[in-house]
Each structure stands twice: as C-alpha cells, then as structure tokens.
Amino acid sequence: MAKIIYTHTDEAPLLATYSFLPIVQAYAGKAGVDIETRDISLSGRILAQFGIVDDALAELGALAKTPEANIIKLPNVSASIPQLKAAITELQEQGYDLPDYPENAQTAEEKAVVAKYDKVKGSAVNPVLREGNSDRRAPLSVKNYAKSHPHRMGAWSSDSKTNVATMGKDDFFSNELSVVLPGDDTLTIKHIGVDGTETVLKDGLKVLAGEVVDATFMNVAALRRFLTEQIARAKADDVLFSVHLKATMMKVSDPIIFGHVVQAFFPTLFEQYGEQLAAAGISPNDGLGGLLGAVASLPEGDAIKAAVAAGLADGPAMAMVDSDKGITNLHVPSDVIIDASMPAMIRGGGHMWGPDGAEADTLAVIPDSSYAGIYQATIDDCRTHGALDPATMGSVPNVGLMAQAAEEYGSHDKTFEAPAAGRIQVVNSAGDVLTEHHVEPGDIWRACQTKDAPIRDWVKLAVTRARASGSPAVFWLDEARAHDANLIAKINEYLPEHDTEGLTIEVMTPAEATTYSLERARRGEDTISVTGNVLRDYNTDLFPILELGTSAKMLSVVPLMNGGGLFETGAGGSAPKHVQQLVKENYLRWDSLGEFFALVPSLELYAEQAGTPGAKVLADALDRATGTFLNEDKSPTRRVGGIDNRGSHFYLALYWAQELAAQSEDAELAAAFAPLAERLAAEEQTIVDELGAVQGHPADIGGYYRPDDTKVEAVMRPSATLNAALASLA
C-alpha cells in the first residue's frame, strides 16, 4: 500500500516537525493520503544498534530500493565522536542501558561496542537512503523572491588578504590511483610492513564489473610541515587562521587531520604534555574544547591550560566560532564544516570573526587540494569583481553523483592510519595488485568505490536536466586526477546513448567550472554543475548561500534508480544554534521552506503510486500556497518578537487551506477545507497572539539528542486555537 514516510531526525528540523507534521497529517488525511513517520535520528540509530528500538534506517534503506519508496528526508546529525559521546551520555542519563564509547578498545567486547557505534558515526544515513542521484535546484518561487528581496552580502575589497591555502602535493589529490574493474570480484586491502609482515586491513570487499575503485593517502609529515608554514603565514600576513574540513562526512580522515592542526598550532603544549594527555585518553582529534574540558582532573591541568593560553597568544589570531564564549575554530571538529563555513565567509566579504569580536580577512586552510580550488576561484572572482548581487545573479543547480554510496570518501570502513612504514595494497581475488602506496607511520590512507550503474544514471540525469532547463551542463572533473580521468572516459562512453543535439555539455576542472559559472551568474545566466558526491555537498551550499542566503530553500529530488523517490529538505548546518535559541528564548527560527518544497513532489508521486487524485490536488494547492507564503514574507525572522517557525507553519496552513477551498478540481475537498480556511482567517490574530505569548522565556524540551515527546509537543504547539481548528478536520 502506498504511503509517504516522513523522517524524524535531529535538532531544529526535528523540533519543527512537531509543529508542521500535525498540519500535514490533518490535511493529507482529508485527501486519503497515508503519512507515517520513522525515527532515523542519531539517538534512534544508537538505540537501534543495541536492539532497544527497531532499526528504522535499515527498513528505509530496503524501501529505497523499491518502486514503492516515497520518503521525505530531513537533515540529520552526521555525528563526530564528540557528538556521539554527548548523545550516549544523554541517553544513559535518560535511563537507556548503553555502554560508554571505548576510547581505546582492547578487548573483543570493547571492539564489538566500537563497531556498533561506528555504524552511526558520520554520514551514516545518506549512503543508506540515497539509491539515486541528486537533482538539486532553487524553485522558481524562491529565486524570484530572492531577486525581489535580496539578502545582505558583505562588501569585498580589491586588496582583501583572504585566501585559501592547500597542500598541492603529498595529499589525497596528488597520490590518488584509480582502476575500473573488468568483472565482478572480491578485493582485499592489506598493509605489508618493511619486514614483510602482512596485515589485512579489510577483506571481503565485493565489487561489480565496471566499478571504479580508488585509493590514495595523505603524507602526514608533509601535512605537518604545511600546517606549520600556514600558521606562520597567517601571523606574518596579519590575518585570521582557520581550518576548514568535514569531520562529519569524512568521519575517519578529517578528525585525524583536525588533530594534526591542533598539534601544529600548539607545538609547545604537545612537546611538554603530549605523553600525559595521551595516557589520560585525551585526543587532539576531539578538539581544543574536549582537551580543556578533560584536563581539569589531571595534576598538570592548570599548567596545560596555561600552555593553551600561551599558544593562542603566540600564534596568529584564530577565527572564532563564538568570540563571546571563547570558542575557537579548533574547539570542536564538527563546529567548522567546510561546505557551510566557506560560503559564509565568502558571503561575508571574505571575513570571519576574530577573538576580538570583529570581522577580519582570513587564511582558510584546506589541506587536501582536490576541491580547494573552487573556493580560491570564488574568492578571486569576488576580489576582482566585488560581491555577487542576489537581485540579478543566475543560479547554479546541481546534478550530483551519489547513488549507492558513490565516492563516499572517509565515511566508511576503508580509511586507515598506516600502522607502520610499508605498503598498502588493494588486491583482487587472483592476487593481482590493483593499487599500491608506500606509506609511513600515521599516514592517512583511504579508498572508495563508485559503481557503474550510478555513473550511467548520473549522465542520463545531467542530460535530462540540461534538456528541461535549457542551461549548459558542466561536468566538474579534472583529467589530472586519476578518479576523474576514469569518470571522463565513462561520460564519453555514455553520452552518445542520449539525444544531446542543441545542448551545451562540457567537462571542466572544478576551478575552471567555478569561474565559468560565476561569470555566467553575474550575467544572470544559469549553469548546471554536474559533480561527484563531495562536490555535490560543497556546491549545494556554496551557490545557494550566495544566491539565496541559505541552502535550506533548495528543492532536492532524488529519483531512485529502481523507481520511487527520496525528497530531501535542505541543509542542517545551522540547526544547533537554532536549538540553543529555542531553549533560551522559546523562539525557533528554523525555516521549514525545504519541507514545503519536498512535500509537493512527494504528494505528486503518491498520486501516481496510489491512484489518489486528491494527493495531486493537495500538491498543487501547496505549491501555490508556498508562493503566497513567500510573497507575504512569512518566513521566520531571527529574533524574538517576530514570526518564528511555528508562526510560519500557521500561515502556510492558512494559505494552503484557502487554496484548497478555492480549487475546482475536487469539489469534495474544496467543501471540506472551506470552513477551515474561514476559521483560520477569522482567528488569525488570536493564533498569532498565542504563538507570540510564549516567546522570550526558556523552554524545556527534555533533551538535546532525544527530547521528550510530551514536552516538545507542548513547546511546538502552543496555540490551543490552531490545534482545535486542525482537529476539526478529523
């Protein structure tokens, strides 16, 4: 039986669900549309690993491989280790019988516990659900709104000292090797020490014919030299020092790199106290915040804190996450996520916040050079031509290769720190060595897979979008990179399968494609970026943040390869700050526009799947209502006293009911919604007053990672008048 699955996730999107989903279910129920929920939150996934709750993610993963799939997926926490530990602690305090996260697992039991927790770290949800490639773009209504209500852009100076620093050699880009498998096989990854000792790092790695398998490593000695140079450069240039990684999606490699940055910034600290910190289980990979919080119990705690203060004083000024609270760029690995932090810096005129609370030019350190060039190209463009103008600029939608965990570098069990000097090989079942790297102790080695069927589907989707939009489609690939060279060969093989006459389809390096797209955007022209999975993540934040002020307003459709659809609702990078504001002031500024957009194609798909015409009527009415919502400017404001997330939901409900009452396609639905539309309009001021009355006071939601249902429902549905009106539909 057809049904829409609406996911319960984390943080601000989860809180918003408590307000918005009752509206959706009430309206859908009148049209015979079945909507169910599944909990894929971080806490839910942790509990599922230990058999405490059902494994909803596994259920949805199986569903995503069927034509019946119709899933609305909200942003979820991609947990770093500090976030994972915090979630475990909260669940334990709530009475759940969970083991601690073993810092240094030694016994078989401890290793089994780590294995369970590892399954929920990082980007654990998306690879399971994304059984299709990504089609992400700004809906016309949003783009028109952004042009008529342009967001504020920071001014760029032609003498700005902001730049990107990247390794350019001895990194993942330069060391990459790539092979295309001639047939189905089973691979093994092994380390061979200089003394000939062989250690299997991973075996039983199944691959399919035509699959692209890549392997690469980052030389840690070169990384440390590079970091030391950049710290000195930032101080000499009198700019802020910042590092931009993705310790969530790249859950294994990037926390290690982050730890090296912490050590490089505080060399004296680790020379003097490194052994004591290691003995206490304090890892620089967890960030400066974790270190400072843990050393209080050490005999040398005060001296260590003094050494940190001295390091901050001696080094360059550091970019801050929260200058008022003293939270630096190096406090928490998941605080500064590259795809959110770099666009925000560029939007702000190339500035980040310094320890003095003022904005300043910044040296953005992005160690691996695979994609650092896109940000340098954007900075160079803005330095030369000034800030982009949201009122006139074109759009850069994205077609992203992501199906079946394509290119999920770092989010998997194929990333290792070299245990000793030697070689790391990928070997096929016949014993042939497919790739081999010579490594030193601590080097970061990683591999990834990209299956052939998703690549073929990606090419097809790119042509489809170019045909539908009339915009050029540019594959962002660099033939100098081993993986990209293999993808280019496949594109050349698969493009002739499609009618490309009259279309502009090109291949450019990421930096060249950035410059080309920005030149067109400044002329008001659109350009489709066709990218791999990591660049999909970066581009679907970079351009929307410059165009729209946020990436949360994008339409994200994933046409699943076996039929059905996955509808994603935007990015959740700012979600933690929204929760903090709600708890402090009972004000949630999360914008649910992404949910509104996702629901429209989901309802349209339901109408096809279930043969329910009313679902299409709901979708069309919601689409028109969202346009009114934007024109009437009912999105949440930032501060207490304005419309927050709950108020925006009320207005969407009002406009949606009015559209349903006025439509002529379904007289029964029109009659059902006419009284509600009249009632909501008549009681508008009462509802707005009830929603506003709770603002400005602390809110108790009973937990961060697993809030209490009853408490959150009370907080997120404070208007008795609105609740009664919705109940009248039943």
Determine the pLDDT at residue 573: 59
Q: How far apart are CA 361 and CA 384, in angstroms?
A: 16
Residue range 60-70: average pLDDT? 96
CA distance 513 to 103: 43
Query: What mean pLDDT comes out for the span 663-677?
Result: 96
At 52, is the pLDDT very low, low, confident or very high (cuts 50, 70, 90)?
Answer: very high
* Band (675; pLDDT cuts 50, 70, 90): very high
360 pLDDT exceeds 80? yes
- 423: buried, middle or exposed (CB in 10 Å: 19+, 13-18, 0-12)? middle
**What is the phi/psi pair of residue 212, to 5°?**
-95, 125
**SS3 label, residue 400:** strand
User: Are the C-beta atoms of 327 and 289 separated by less than 8 Å?
Assistant: yes
- 3-state SS string for 67-108: CCCEEEECCCCCECHHHHHHHHHHHHHCCCCCCCCCCCCCCH
Mean pLDDT of 474-478: 98
Q: Quick check: 574 pLDDT over 70?
A: no
The dihedral sign for the CA sequence 236, 238, 240, 244: negative
Q: What is the pLDDT of residue 37?
A: 98
Give the pLDDT confidence score for residue 409 in this predicted structure: 66
- For the sheet containing 444-450, what is the strand order? 177-180, 212-218, 444-450, 415-417
Q: What is the pLDDT of residue 144?
A: 86
Q: Is residue 364 within 8 Å of residue 162, measured between CB atoms?
A: yes
**d(Cα 257, Cα 245) in Å, to the nearest integer?**
8
Q: Looking at residue 257, what is its pLDDT?
A: 97
pLDDT for the residue 571: 66
Q: Where are the alpha helices (DSSP H) in 527-612?
A: 533-548, 575-585, 593-610
CA distance 106 to 469: 56
- Summarised one tens digit per residue, pLDDT across range 509-535 is 999 999 999 999 999 999 999 999 999
Three-class DSSP labels, 153-177: CCCCCCCCCCEEECCCCCCHHHHCE
178 near 190, Cβ under 8 Å?
no
* Region label for 529, one of left (φ > 0), alpha (ψ between -120 and 50) or beta (otherwise): beta
Round the average pLDDT of the chain to a whole number and report it.
94
3-state secondary structure 491-506: HHHHHHHCCCCCCCEE
Q: Which amino acid is at 715?
A: V
- CA distances to 234, 305, 307, 462, 515 from 310, in Å: 17, 9, 5, 53, 41
Q: What is the model's pLDDT at position 542?
A: 96
Take residue 706 and report the two structure tokens written for it.
Answer: 């697993």
**For the segment 331-350, what is each residue's pLDDT rounded down to a tens digit?**
999 888 999 999 999 999 99
The model's pLDDT over 692-706, given as tens digits with 9 standing for 90+, comes to 999 999 999 999 999
Helices (H), 215-337: 220-237, 253-265, 267-279, 287-294, 301-314
Per-residue model confidence (pLDDT) at position 123: 78
What confidence score (pLDDT) does residue 410 get? 60
Sign of CA pseudo-dihedral 410, 415, 419, 423 = negative
Structure tokens at 351: 């500035």
* pLDDT at residue 139 in the model: 86
With a CB cutoff of 8 Å and minimum separation 6, the contacts of 266 are 307, 308, 311
For a pLDDT cut of 90, what percent of the chain falls above it?
Answer: 87
Under the phi-then-psi rule, with left for phi > 0, alpha for psi from -120 to 50, and beta for the rest, what region is 586?
left
Query: What's the pLDDT at 143?
Result: 87
How does DSSP classify residue 132?
A: B
What stretch of H or E contains 179? strand 177-180
Q: Look at residue 249 and tell me whether its pLDDT is greater than 80.
A: no
Phi–psi pair at 581, nearest 5 degrees: -70, -40
pLDDT tens-digit profile of 435-453?
999 999 999 999 999 999 9
pLDDT number for residue 430: 97
Percent of the chain clearing pLDDT 70 (strictly above): 99
